[in-house]
Amino acid sequence: MRVILAEDSTLLREGLSRLLAEEGHEVVGSFGDAITLLPAVAKTEPDIVVVDVRMPPTHTDEGLRAALRIRRDHPDVGVLILSQHVEKRFTVELLSGDINGVGYVLKDRVVRVEEFLDALERVGDGGSAFDPEVVRQLLSRTSHGDPLATLTDREREVLELMAEGHTNDAIAKRLFVSRSAVEKHVNAIFTKLELTANTDGYSRRVLAVLRYLDS
């Protein structure tokens, strides 16, 4: 997989670069700011860009803005957001469209190498990957008397795993239940959230959840 890294911490950037090279990925670019990132993406067309949210010069949201632009101008390039915190302002905008090839993981997750690599590969292959904490904070945005309140604890667990980008099989393994049990919970969730019954695709399910969260 051809990867571009955009991270202003030289130590983290170099560490990720070495990790990805050791795992057989090709790091085709490594940058410390979003200004040099964008032309590099246009020139090299990588499979995926790993980008920090806060980058020079203001260290506010340059990385997330660059991610939005990459999604707009290069829809075939995957974008995996790295952040110390959940940045809600532009995250909903990033996730409100087609989220195939989009991921958002917290930097704490990077130290869990297998989880980070799994997220990277899922997004690079056109899937989605979201940190459980990101999902929890987005779900909390709509806790004021809405259909989410009608979900059972188990349905909420399934919904959170769906929003993280897991398939029904993966959810079943994590919750130690059968696939059919997960499918029943998924159908119940769609019914309670008044979502259409044809949201069978994994990315469509996540998109439906995030659209609901944005409502």
pLDDT per residue as tens digits for the range 130-161: 887 777 776 665 445 566 777 788 988 888 88
Token pair in block for residue 31: 């940058």
Could you tell me if 204 and 113 lie in one domain?
A: no
Could you tell me if 82 and 7 lie in one domain?
A: yes
How many residues are there in the chain? 215
Within 8 A by CB and 6+ apart from 166, the residues are 174
Could you tell me if 101 and 171 lie in one domain?
A: no
pLDDT for 143 equals 47
Q: What residues does 105 pair with on adjacent strands? A: 82
Residue type, 128: S
Q: What is the CATH number of the domain that holds 58?
A: 3.40.50.2300
Residue 203 reports pLDDT greater than 70: no
Within 8 A by CB and 6+ apart from 11, the residues are none
**45-65 per-position pLDDT tens digit:** 999 999 998 888 888 888 888
Whether the bond between 39 and the residue before it is cis, its omega within 30 degrees of 0, is no
How far apart are the C-alpha atoms of 15 and 45, rounded to whole Å?
23
User: In 10 A of CB 78, how many CB atoms?
Assistant: 29
Residue type, 174: R
Domain-located, residue 24? yes
State which of 93, 109, 143 marks the end of a domain: 143
Residue 164 reports pLDDT greater than 90: no
Whole-prediction pTM: 0.68
Average pLDDT, the chain: 82
Token pair in block for residue 122: 């899922």
β strands within 113-184, DSSP E: 128-130
Domain-located, residue 189? yes
Residue 215 reports pLDDT greater than 50: no
The whole domain housing 66 covers 2-143
| pLDDT band of 210, cuts 50, 70, 90 | low
Q: What residues does 38 pair with on adjacent strands? A: none
Could you tell me if 13 and 116 lie in one domain?
A: yes
Domain-located, residue 148? no
Could you tell me if 113 and 51 lie in one domain?
A: yes
